[in-house]
């Protein structure tokens, strides 16, 4: 069983914000594949199970994402090597992706929460660059919406992440996925 998680914050207020790129990637993947997420209280999130893959959008807000993910891991008995988390990264240029098999939280509160709840940093991840702006406070920047120009850059990146999701859920080796998309 695989678990693919898109990080973000629930609610219309946060739709299309930079911090919700994980949600945006899953939403785009399923717009193409015509499936819908369902609210599931036991995971405090939106869930979709297709075959041997569980897709999760935690609704615990970013800083508590680990609670939702840990519940899904325990319920479905998912191995750590079968987890993929998609999230925003301020340290990467807009639209750039980086795939890693483990690593620190790098200041990302959602990733800190996951590490705290599953007690390891050894899970696969897709970091999507949202850039940063030293003139805007970080909280305001990540909770800001993408501009039209930024969306033109990020849309091809979301399409790339859709391919990564497909490859991962179809049991391709993560090393091969990293080689193809990094």
Q: Give 151-173 pLDDT, tens digit per residue.
A: 999 999 999 999 999 999 999 99
Nearest to 99 by CA among 175, 4, 3: 175
Cα–Cα distance between 129 and 65 in angstroms, integer?
A: 19
Cα–Cα distance between 94 and 97 in angstroms, integer?
A: 9
Q: Which CATH superfamily is domain 2-181 in?
A: Peptidyl-tRNA hydrolase (3.40.50.1470)
Cα–Cα distance between 134 and 157 in angstroms, integer?
A: 23
Structure tokens at 149: 């120009």
Confidence of residue 34 (pLDDT cuts 50, 70, 90): confident
- Point out the residues that are catalytic: 19
> Which pLDDT score, from 0 to 100, does residue 35 have?
87
Instruction: Compute the average pLDDT of residues 78-82.
Output: 96
- pTM, two decimal places: 0.96
> Which pLDDT score, from 0 to 100, does residue 170 have?
95
């Amino acid at each position: 069983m695989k678990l693919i998680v898109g990080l973000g914050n629930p609610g219309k207020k946060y739709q299309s914000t930079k911090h919700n790129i994980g949600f945006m990637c899953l939403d785009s993947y399923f717009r193409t594949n015509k499936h819908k997420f369902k609210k599931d209280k036991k995971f405090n999130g939106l869930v979709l199970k297709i075959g041997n893959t569980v897709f999760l959008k935690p609704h615990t807000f970013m800083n508590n994402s680990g609670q939702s993910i840990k519940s899904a891991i325990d319920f479905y008995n998912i191995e750590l090597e079968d987890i993929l988390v998609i999230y925003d990264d301020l340290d990467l240029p807009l639209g750039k992706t980086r795939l890693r098999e483990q690593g620190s939280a790098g200041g990302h509160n959602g990733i800190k929460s996951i590490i705290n709840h599953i007690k390891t940093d050894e899970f696969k991840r897709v970091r999507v660059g949202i850039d940063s702006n030293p003139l805007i406070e970080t909280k305001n920047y990540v909770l800001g919406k993408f501009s039209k120009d930024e969306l033109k850059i990020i849309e091809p990146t979301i399409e790339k992440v859709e391919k990564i999701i497909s490859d991962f859920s179809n049991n391709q080796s993560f090393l091969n996925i990293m080689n193809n998309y990094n």
